[in-house]
């Protein structure tokens, strides 16, 4: 199926549909007025004060009067030499070592923590401190002057005066040099504790623990080896597998760091449990905004329990689970009870749909809870599209959806998904898979959305199949998943 691409992305030059709100390749939101960070070259919105990548403060970027600074530095050096000449000169290496140690203690004790920059799901940036910020790194205060770095008793002026003037000057310069070396080690090598980000503790319940972050697995600046993306071959693979079975079938395939993509028969289809990805994203977006705490606990009631997939329905009433744990159950076990709990906690359909819309997922709508048969009888069902699912996964992998920390946590959850019976079924053990399936046998729905990665690179693949036969659907997805892996990453 041909696709009109009329709008070019300012970030990666990918051509997108004219009505697209986000680039389907890199996930950046379309904004007319942009500015580039002079420090890391990241493109930001014109109203942004801070760079979303490195935290650079655009408002503080005023030219400095270097002439005055040089004069001030020369004056300070002259004053420091003069002051040191009036003080007692250390007579041993031990005296100098003691002086430097005291100066280092003063510098470390004056360390201050800088503000941190975070960005919300809509691309806007805001500065805040605390556990929700993307990173936490200490910043030492300005270096103390020469006088404050020195210690000792009352200067013995009579003893100093007996030294020749040249010797006193040289001694003073040596001390300044030693102080400078000491300051370098203090300011150039901050302690590990000032760099370590804080991780909120989560009490272990009946599930294991918080999802392990995907450290170093993906990055918007990641340098993969060149993947082989032959559009003609991929279309042949799709036609020989999913394209050859009955029902309504749509496919999206794209490398994570390329503007190329293959989209076949894209349109709004029944999402089944695939919609749960968007419930998870909404929760992490609201947590980033500070209006929802993933570590808060929920007490399970019998009224909340529904059938179908999932294990929460088998837990006793009164069981306490953190919302982070409920999200893990919702994705990894496709837990229907967990999904319904999260829909209520996050504020209902309208709020979640507003978040989905802000992501640019125009074909995705949450209209009912899991196993709400009355809603289905009235014609209300949850929908999504192959393109929506694919671009959403691509933004998560490239850290363009919520934040680096949140996107990494969501990747870790997707990596632990228990259902690998569809697209990833025949992949080798060297492949790393992040996926979420959806199925509803009554309507012939079999969906799978995956990210596949190995040392060669990574790509996204989505198949939505409706009104088909399960045996044919699974066989076609198994074959297509392996073909794509062999063609793109082999």
Span 414-442, pLDDT tens digits: 999 999 999 999 999 999 999 999 999 99
CA 489-478-243 angle, to 5 degrees, is 95
| Average pLDDT of span 359-388 | 97
Three-class DSSP category at 97: helix
Whether 463 contacts 244, CB under 8 Å: no
Q: How confident is the model at residue 94 (pLDDT cuts 50, 70, 90)?
A: very low
Whether 312 contacts 335, CB under 8 Å: yes
Identify the pLDDT of residue 449. Answer: 99
Q: Tokens at residue 155, please?
A: 């200067």
Identify the pLDDT of residue 450. Answer: 99
**Torsion sign across C-alpha atoms 150, 153, 157, 161:** negative
| Average pLDDT of span 470-482 | 99
| Average pLDDT of span 454-461 | 97
Tell me the H-state helices in 86-196. 93-109, 146-149, 157-161, 165-188
Identify the pLDDT of residue 4. Answer: 47
Identify the pLDDT of residue 454. Answer: 96
Nearest by Cα to 279 from 309, 323, 215, 322: 323
Measured between alpha carbons, how far is 482 from 478 in angstroms, rounded to an integer? 7
Identify the pLDDT of residue 119. Answer: 40
pTM metric for this prediction: 0.60
Helix axes 276-289, 336-346, angle to 10 degrees: 40
Q: Tokens at residue 153, please?
A: 């008793």
Whether 321 contacts 300, CB under 8 Å: yes
Measured between alpha carbons, how far is 286 from 256 in angstroms, rounded to an integer? 25
Of 70-74, 162-166, 330-334, 439-443, the range with the lowest mean pLDDT is 70-74
Q: Give the bridge partners for 29, in sequence order.
A: 22
Measured between alpha carbons, how far is 84 from 268 in angstroms, rounded to an integer? 78
Identify the pLDDT of residue 460. Answer: 99
CATH architecture of 231-488: 3-Layer(aba) Sandwich (3.40)
Residue keyed to tokens 């490398």: 255
Q: How confident is the model at residue 312 (pLDDT cuts 50, 70, 90)?
A: very high
Which secondary-structure segment (H or E) carries 402? none
Q: Is a pLDDT exceeding 90 seen at residue 351?
A: yes
Where are the CATH 3.40.710.10 domain residues in the chain?
231-488
Higher pLDDT, 66 or 323: 323
Whether 135 contacts 115, CB under 8 Å: no
Task: Name the E strands within 312-355.
Answer: 320-322
Measured between alpha carbons, how far is 222 from 377 in angstroms, rounded to an integer? 47
Residue 367: CB atoms within 10 Å: 17
Measured between alpha carbons, how far is 427 from 486 in angstroms, rounded to an integer? 9
Q: Is a pLDDT exceeding 50 seen at residue 380?
A: yes
């Amino acid at each position: 199926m041909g696709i009109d691409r009329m709008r070019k992305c300012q970030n990666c030059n990918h051509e997108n549909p004219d009505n697209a709100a986000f680039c389907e390749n890199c996930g950046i939101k379309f904004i007319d007025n942009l500015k580039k960070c002079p420090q890391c070259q990241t493109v930001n919105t014109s109203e942004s004060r801070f760079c979303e990548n490195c935290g650079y403060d655009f408002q503080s970027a005023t030219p400095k009067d270097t002439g005055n600074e040089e004069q001030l530095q020369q004056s300070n050096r002259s004053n420091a030499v003069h002051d040191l000449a009036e003080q007692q000169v250390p007579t041993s290496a031990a005296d100098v070592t003691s002086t430097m140690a005291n100066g280092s203690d003063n510098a470390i004790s004056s360390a201050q923590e800088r503000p941190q920059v975070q960005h919300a799901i809509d691309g806007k940036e805001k500065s805040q401190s605390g556990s929700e910020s993307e990173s936490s790194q200490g910043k030492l205060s300005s270096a103390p002057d020469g006088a404050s770095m020195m210690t000792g008793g009352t200067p013995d002026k009579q003893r100093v005066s007996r030294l020749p003037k040249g010797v006193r000057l040289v001694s003073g310069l040596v001390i300044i040099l030693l102080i400078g070396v000491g300051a370098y080690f203090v300011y150039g090598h901050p302690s590990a504790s000032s760099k370590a980000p804080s991780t909120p503790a989560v009490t272990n319940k009946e599930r294991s623990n918080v999802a392990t972050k995907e450290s170093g697995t993906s990055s918007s600046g990641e340098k993969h080896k060149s993947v082989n993306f032959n559009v003609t071959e991929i279309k042949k693979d799709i036609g020989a597998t999913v394209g050859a079975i009955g029902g309504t079938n749509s496919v999206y395939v794209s490398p994570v760091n390329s503007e190329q993509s293959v989209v076949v028969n894209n349109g709004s289809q029944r999402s089944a449990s695939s919609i749960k990805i968007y419930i998870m994203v909404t929760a992490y977006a609201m947590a980033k905004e500070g209006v929802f705490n993933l570590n808060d606990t929920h007490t399970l009631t019998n009224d909340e329990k529904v059938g179908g997939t999932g294990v929460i329905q088998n837990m006793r009433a009164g069981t306490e689970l953190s919302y982070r744990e409920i999200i893990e159950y919702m994705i990894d076990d496709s837990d229907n009870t967990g999904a319904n709990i999260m829909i209520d906690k996050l504020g209902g359909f309208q709020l979640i749909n507003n978040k989905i819309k802000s992501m640019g997922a125009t074909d995705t709508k949450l209209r009912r809870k899991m196993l709400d048969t009355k809603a289905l009888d009235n014609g209300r069902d949850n929908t999504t599209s192959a393109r929506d699912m694919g671009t959403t996964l691509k933004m998560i992998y490239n850290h363009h959806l919520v934040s680096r920390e949140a996107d990494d946590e969501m990747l870790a959850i997707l990596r632990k998904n228990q259902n690998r019976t569809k697209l990833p079924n025949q992949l080798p053990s060297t492949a790393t898979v992040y996926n979420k399936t959806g199925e509803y046998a009554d309507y012939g729905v079999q969906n799978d959305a995956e990210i596949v990665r190995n040392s060669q690179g990574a790509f996204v693949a989505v198949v939505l199949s409706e009104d088909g036969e399960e045996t044919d659907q699974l066989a076609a997805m198994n074959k297509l998943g392996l073909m794509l892996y062999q063609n793109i990453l082999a």
